[in-house]
Amino acid sequence: MTEKWKLEKREAGPLHQQIYDFVKGKIRSGEWPVGMRIPSQRELAAALAVNRSTVVHALGELAADGLVESAVGRGTVVANSTWNLLAGTRQPDWGRYVSSGAYRPNLSLIRRINEAEPDPSLIRLGTGELSPELLPSTRIAELLAGSVSGPLSLGYPEPKGSYPLREALSSYLQRKGISASPSSILIVSGALQGLQLISLGLLRPGSVILAENPTYLNSVHVFQSAGMELRTVPMDGDGIRPDAVGRLMRQHGASLLYTNPTYRNPTGGVMTLKRRESLMQACGEARLPVVEDDAYGDLWLDEPPPSPLKSLDSQGLVLHMGSMSKSLGPGLRIGWIAGPEPVIERLADIKMQTDYGSSTLSQHAVAEWLATGCHEEHLSFLRGKLRERRGIALEALEASFSDLADWTMPRGGFYIWLRLRKPLDMRRLFETALQAGVLLNPGSIYDREDRQHLRLSYSFASLSQLREGLAVLSSLIRSLTAP
């Protein structure tokens, strides 16, 4: 229950009556429709800072009046008879509409994480974004305030996005070895929208997508909601095994390969240059298109990573996706796709049909940011801070987890892929840690069968929180695995 609502404990009548009126008001307004599960007794008591017995009293009266009822396996829900009692009419069965939507709901653990993240009291050990103190908010505000003189338009952008931004990105990609003219670049509202456009504009329902495992794609339902099927590609320490690509494509009729070869989410792994070259050769022979997600490519900590797949592409196989979310700010919602012009034009047409273009303010800010050289300076600062955080996290792991888990030092990105030596009920560990004030990303989010991994992030929590959170987590795991 994320809504802030306070009881008037002195003047507004008995507390149970206030809770009764609050719930009844939600039902009357239609915010809580028939069949919706209302917050549990524990959740209501915690949110309203009252004894659980007070909540029980209020819910009892609501049930007696026919407004709520108990449902097996669901807890307390808004009763079917509610609108007959309140308004003398019947409310649409919004529950049926919600369950009929084509887009698949988030995993329940993902929803729990999304609901918990706004709580400032939690230590967020799994959050895949930069701490606010690492974001250049002041300098971006100065750009938007006009400290530089680039023209700003508040009208609709071109279908492919702001030309100055695409021009700046063309130069930025050239430094990575990628030849992409502004006409072959599409601005999207983050890499996630890029995946949505690819699924809508290039693939048919029922298409098979080859992907690494574990993979970020299992934590979102972009392709699955469009009726696509994910198939796992065999891997080893160097990355995807090229010898399996052609066989799996023929076996399953695969339409494309999705890969996150550099500081992969969630494992932090890096595909070697030799393996990248072999993979491009295998995909070329199979004529299998590749979607390369390079969201973390700029975040190397010790030495630059191997060249992107797109820089090795001589056949127009690769759609290269990048984003400013991991280095500049997730709230800007600026990403891009670089690929063959006919593909970019098709995706641009789909984008114009869905949102008429990404924010012109954000596009202007990022264009100025790249054109004025701010980005390289910021990346240098960011790498130093992330190296420091990685060091603190590794020290804390060595102190608290040396007999509990195994890990490798990440060479870039945000994540340490922690492997527990004893399998655990990941949902139980998640809930236990949350009660102790620590928010986790279990490995089961990325591979549903996983009972031994945690994706630990050193990018968001403060240095003191990293130490404290990992110490708390170690104690919880010991208690859960004790004989």
**Looking at residue 33, what is its pLDDT?**
82
Residue 180: what pLDDT?
A: 95
Q: Which two tokens stand for residue 416?
A: 């340490």
Which residues make up the CATH 3.40.640.10 domain(s) of the chain?
149-371
pTM summary value:
0.82
For residue 12, the model assigns a pLDDT of 63
15-101 CATH, one of 3.20.20.140, 1.10.10.10, 1.20.120.1200, 1.20.140.10: 1.10.10.10
Q: What is the pLDDT of residue 3?
A: 55
393 to 122, 135, 326, 407, 459: CA distances (angstroms): 17, 20, 19, 11, 10
SS3 category, 209: strand
Strand duo 75-78 + 405-406: pairing? unpaired
The ranges of the chain annotated as CATH 1.10.10.10 are: 15-101
User: For position 456, what pLDDT does the model report?
Assistant: 98
Q: Which of 154, 193, 177 is nearest to 330 (CA)?
A: 193
Which residues are CB-contacts of 232 (< 8 A; sequence separation ≥ 6)? 210, 211, 212, 213
Q: What is the pLDDT of residue 6?
A: 64
- 381: alpha, beta or left? (left if phi > 0; alpha if psi -120 to 50): alpha
Helix (H, G, I), strand (E, B) or coil at 421: coil
Q: How many C-beta neighbours within 10 Å does residue 389 have?
A: 22
Give the C-alpha separation, 209 to 263, whole Å: 21
DSSP per position, 268-314: -----HHHHHHHHHHHHHHT--EEEE-TTTT-BSSSPPPPPGGGG-S
Contact 296, 323 (CB under 8 A): no
Helix locations, 131-270, DSSP H:
137-145, 163-174, 191-201, 222-225, 242-252
Task: Please tell me the predicted confidence (pLDDT) of residue 148.
Answer: 61
Q: For residues 347 and 200, is the Cβ–Cβ distance under 8 A?
A: no
pLDDT by position in tens, the chain (length 483): 445 566 666 556 788 888 888 888 888 777 888 788 888 888 888 777 788 888 899 888 888 888 888 877 778 888 876 555 555 555 666 667 777 776 666 678 888 898 899 999 999 999 999 999 999 999 888 877 776 656 777 888 889 999 999 999 999 999 999 999 999 999 999 888 999 999 999 999 899 999 999 998 877 888 888 888 999 999 999 999 999 998 999 899 999 999 999 999 999 999 999 999 999 999 999 999 999 999 999 999 999 999 999 999 999 999 999 999 999 999 999 999 999 999 999 999 999 998 888 889 899 999 999 988 899 999 999 999 999 999 999 999 999 999 999 999 999 999 999 999 999 999 999 999 999 999 999 999 999 889 999 999 999 999 999 999 999 999 999 999 887
User: Which numeric CATH code is attached to 111-133+377-481?
Assistant: 3.90.1150.10
CATH class of residue range 149-371: alpha beta
Q: Residue written as tokens 């009357």?
A: 28
Are 207 and 230 in contact by the 8 Å Cβ rule? The answer is no
